[in-house]
Amino acid sequence: MRRFFLAGLLVVVPIILTFLILRLLFRTVDGLLAPLVTELIGRELPGVGLLATIVIVFLAGFFISSVFGSRLYSLGEMLFIKTPLVRTVYGGAKQLMEGMFSQGGKAFKQAVLVEFPHKGVWVVAFVGGEIQIAGKAFLAVFVPSTPTPFTGFVANYLPEEVVPLPISIEEALKFVVSGGIVVPEELKSSGAKPLGKLV
């Protein structure tokens, strides 16, 4: 079950991101070309932005598929990774992916409940690690967004402000991605149980 969920997540999320990127590209291209086409032919031409976007994506794919294009893409990716600010964002995103799916020490430690963005509102989050601030121990907690948990917020909580959940990281991730529709069996019980020690 877990393997199928993770496999599905890795398929669905890229599709959503691709759709959002293509929509942004379409709006940009349409905004640039539509006025020019209208001026050239004297009337609006519906679909010119969509057609141009499809052509651009096709040509980009054709170019990347060539030997020269593949090498140029690899070079561009190398430069992309070496760019200071971009490298930081990319590295953080990569570590986040490892934190969600890794079986090693980089994985999130536990699924928890925290009050976010203000008191009285509880959200499912993930403990990433422990930090020391002014002599006090805080838990670094990642609060994911729905339905794409690869973005979110990092907040620091005192251990007593965090409620550990009796579910796995994968089960908590299902809950977040589904918008609360897929509820783990452990959270359906009406009887309150001790949740144990965190981290």
Residuewise pLDDT in 10s, the chain (199 residues): 666 666 666 666 666 666 776 777 778 888 888 888 788 888 777 777 777 877 877 887 788 788 787 788 778 767 767 777 666 666 666 666 666 655 544 568 899 999 999 999 999 999 988 999 888 999 999 998 887 677 789 999 999 999 999 998 888 888 888 888 888 888 886 554 555 555 5
Amino acid letter, 122: W
Edge-to-edge strands of the sheet including 110-115? 152-157, 136-144, 122-133, 110-115, 163-164
Q: What is the pLDDT of residue 105?
A: 43
pTM (predicted TM-score): 0.52
Domain extents in the chain: 2-82, 110-185
Give 48: exposed, middle or buried? Use CB within 10 Å, 0-12, 13-18, 19+: middle
CATH of 110-185, one of 1.10.10, 2.30.30, 2.60.120, 3.40.50: 2.30.30
| CB 189, CB 180: distance < 8 Å | no
112-127 residues labelled b (16+ CB within 10 A) or e (exposed): bbbebeeeeeebbbbb
